[in-house]
Structure formats: structure tokens, C-alpha cells
Amino acid sequence: MAEDPKESPEKTTPPIPEEKTSVTHHTIEINGTEIHYTATAGTLILNEPDEEKGEKAKASIFYIAYTKDDIENPADRPITFSFNGGPGSSSVWMHLGLLGPKRVLLDDEGLPLPPPYKLVDNEYSLLDKTDLVFIDPVSTGYSRSVPGEKPEEFHGVKKDIESVGDFIQQYTSRSKRWLSPKFIIGESYGTTRAAGLSGYLQDRHGMFFNGLMLISSILNFGTARFDPGNDLPYILFLPTYTATAWYHKKLSPELQKDLRATLKQVEEFAYNEYTLALMQGSALSPDKEQEIAEQLAAFTGLSADYIRQTDLRVNIYRFCKQLRRSEGLTVGRLDTRFVGKDRDNAGELFERDPSYSAILGPYAATMNHYVREDLDFENNLPYEILAPLYQKWKFEDNQNNYLNVAETLREAIATNPELKVFVANGFFDLATPYFATEYTFNHIGLTTDLRKNISQAFYEAGHMMYVQIKSLEKLKTDLSSFIDTSWTK
């Protein structure tokens, strides 16, 4: 029997949330100069064209912007858009670890101090060089799809780039910054997003940038997927295995003398003998297999017998468990200087990454305090530090191949020859190993005259190299120099 419409409750869509901003004013001293700045914490509603309504609200994007006061002409002041990776990460890591006017207080090597945790003025902030806008992609931080819209629509390569790109376009227009020198800085999967944005913003909005800063870069996912039949990661991760073994003093006295000299040796071996051996597969002779296993053992700190048991192919998780298994310790993935303990030592996988566990608490606590106390922004939603999106992320156009946005970046540089790229690499990073990044940029296919647009630097720390104070100091110098040389006032 048909339901009486008079007795049916009306189905209504919850109202679209209104944009909300909180503006506060602050002062910081950087390099002996006092800087007065304005902090804006807020939300921006993203709209898309709609046949019936003209446009339709899709998402509320949370951001925190820092702008230097008393700037007469915005064209004289660079602006930098920042985000982290995941996929599923908020922008908290570079915000409170590297770029922003406040940073989490850790010890000099990046280990957490006992709780309660603390923020301090960041004398290494880039605010002396550029205004900063930290963006939380949909489902991270306080950013959410609006009521009636599916959040998973944004959880994929294409839509993620489009939504962040459209935010950048809207923010730039509202703040009248189209003529400012413009930069993007991304970390980890954020470098994937940054390379994608270099093409999307040019093609969709005609927005050309001065520079991209890629922190712990991954553009070609074929370099990092330990799938059967893909030998590339075994080759490209090897130098980081060596750096890790060096740090934990698992190499011979000769190889322990000089990290850079040792890495040069292992890189030569990886590009030559190791690559040729893996190419032969089961056709490799037993004698040659033993020779390669012994050389790998010398470079990794693992035993030749164990390496032969892996068919000369030690994946990342086996390495992290095996290197210090006899001591009951597991080394980290994001930063292999860190160690942790699992329930037992028999498994091939660690229970959790000890390098992530070490920093999660300090960053989560200080961010939740800072946004309410210092920035005066109230929100009852949980601030999503790292939402569990990675396993559900959609690679729409890459169902039968590996995502490779290096080609997008190549096209962007060819279109805009003034676009410069800086890449920061940590020697103890097993999430995005430095040798894999070098391989990607060696194969990017730029013409000789445009290769000079790309520069790289290396740090004796991990994925978030800036947690180590020595690397933070160097990175601030390198990023400042890059910004200074990427535009002319």
C-alpha cells in the first residue's frame, strides 16, 4: 500500500556550513629581525558548476595562512602553499616542524621530550622570505565534504589535485595575490600532489608558479612498489639500507669510515652488478648468486644466507625487522635512525613504525592546543592528523600501471621554462629513498637546457628531516636560497 505523503517525514539536506575565519596578530624574530604578521585560520567553501543551481557546494577546506604586515605591494612578496602527503595527512608536519612561526620542541635528533609537549618560536620559519598558506585536503584536519556529498569522491589522485588546485585559485583571487611570486611546497605524497598541481593549475586556471619545493619526493610509484616482477625498488632502496646499516654501526670498519664515500660505492654496485644480476632472474649462476649475496651482505649488515633466502630481494619491511632482530629491535620506515620493539621478533612486519610513533603525540597535542589557544579557532570536529585513506585511495587512470606524475612535471616545465624545482632528500628515509628520487629525475626527459631548473640537496636524517635540528638549519638555508633565486624583485 502506498505511503500517505502527509504522514511521511520530509527528507531535508542539512544546510551547507558557512565559511568561518579567525584573525589574530603576532610577532616573531627571525635572523635578528622582528616580523609582525597576521594569522588567519579559516574555512573556504569549494563550489562546482551545477546544471540546476549554477554552482553547488562540495567541500569545506580548512587552512591557516600567515601574511607579513605592512606590505604595500603584494607583487613584492612571495606566497607559498604548503601541504603534506599520506594520502590522508593534514598539513601539520611541515607547519609545526619546518615552515610556520611555531615549531614542536623535540630534542636535537628529533626524539620527543616527555609530555606535556611544547611549542616554541620557530627561528627557522620561512616567514621572513614568503607568506605561508597551509592547506588540509578533504577529510584531513578540519576539512570535510559538505553534507550530502560523499567524502570518498575526494579520495583519489585526480579529484585531490583538482580540489586543492581550486582552493589555491580561489584563495589567490580573494587575497589579490595573482601577481605575487608563487610557490608550492609538498612533502611525501604531497610531492605527488605538487607535481600534479603544476600541470592542473597551468592548464585549468592559467596560474604559473615560480617554484616547487619537494620534501621527500615520490613522483614515480614504480620506484617504490615491491611487487612480483618489479625489481626496481630492490635496486633503488639499497643505498638507504646501507645508510641505515651505517647509522646502526652494522658495516665493516672500512665502510663505517665515511657515509658519503660508502654510498657512492653502493650506488655504483646497484646500478651495475646488482641490476644485471636481478635482470637474469633464475638464469643467474649459483656462483654469481653467492657473490652478489656476499656483496649485499657487506652493504646491508644482513647475512649472505638470509639474503639468498630472499632470492637477493630484501623488501623494506624485511629489512626493518631483520637488521637488529637479534637485539629485539625494529628500525623505522620514515626515519631509520629510530628503533622500536614489537611483541616478538619472529615476524616479517613491524607492528607500527617507531619513527611515526615518536612524533605523533607531540604534533597532535600541540596542534590541537595551538589552533584554539593561539589562533582562536573553535571547531568541535576532531582534527584529523592522519586519516586512514591510504589503502582506499583511488588511482583512477592507473589501474594497470604505476602512477607517474614526473611526466606532468616535465610538461609543466616545458610550458613554463621559469618553473624551478628544489628536492630535499633524507639519507635515512625508507618511505621515499633518495636514490629512487635521483632515478626519477634522471629519467624525467627534460631537454638539456631545462635540466638546470632542478636542484637537489641531501640531509643526514629521515623522511621529515627537519625534526633533526642540524638538518632543519640546513633546510632553512637551502629553501631560502631557492626562493631568492627563483624570482626577481
Q: Where are the domains of the chain?
A: 21-222+360-485, 226-352
CATH class of 21-222+360-485: alpha beta
pLDDT in tens, 53-109: 678 899 999 999 999 999 999 999 999 999 999 999 999 999 999 999 999 999 999
Q: For residue 13, is pLDDT > 80?
A: no
C-alpha 453/C-alpha 413 separation (Å) is 8
pLDDT score of 275: 98
Here the cell at position 299 is 652493504
pLDDT greater at residue 7 or residue 354 = 354
| C-beta neighbour count of 328 within 10 angstroms | 11
Cell matching residue 28: 616573531
CA–CA separation, 486 and 126 (whole Å): 15
Residues 6+ apart with CB under 8 A from 384: 88, 90, 136, 139, 140, 141, 142
Amino acid symbol at 35 = I
The reported pLDDT for the residue numbered 391 is 87
Average pLDDT over residues 109-120: 95
Q: Is 116 exposed, middle or buried (0-12, 13-18, 19+ CB in 10 A)?
A: exposed
Contact partners, residue 80, CB within 8 Å, separation at least 6: 99, 126, 130, 131, 132, 133, 182, 183, 184, 185, 213, 483
448-475 per-position pLDDT tens digit = 999 999 999 999 999 999 999 999 999 9
Cα–Cα separations (whole angstroms), residue 392 to 140, 156, 241, 248: 14, 8, 29, 35
The pLDDT, as a whole number, for residue 1 is 42
116 preceded by cis ω (within 30°)? yes
What's the rounded mean pLDDT across residues 349-363?
92
Categorize the per-residue pLDDT at 4 as very low, low, confident or very high, splitting at 50, 70 and 90: low
Residue 294 identity (one-letter amino acid):
E
Q: What is the pLDDT of residues 259-299, one digit of tens each?
A: 999 999 999 999 999 999 999 999 999 999 999 999 999 99
Residue 51 banded pLDDT, cuts 50, 70, 90: low
Q: What is d(CA 309, CA 383) in angstroms, rounded to the nearest whole number?
A: 45
DSSP state of 112: B
Q: How confident is the model at residue 397 (pLDDT cuts 50, 70, 90)?
A: confident
Residues 6+ apart with CB under 8 A from 458: 425, 426, 427, 434
pTM of this structure: 0.94
Evaluate the omega torsion of the peptide bond into residue 5 and state whether it is cis, within 30 degrees of 0.
no
Tell me if residue 450 falls in helix, strand or coil. Answer: helix
pLDDT recorded at residue 347? 82
d(CA 451, CA 444): 9
How does 343-357 read in b/e, with b if 16+ C-beta sit within 10 Å? eeeeeeebeebbbbe
Q: Which residues, at least 6 apart from 53, have a Cβ–Cβ distance to it below 8 Å?
A: none
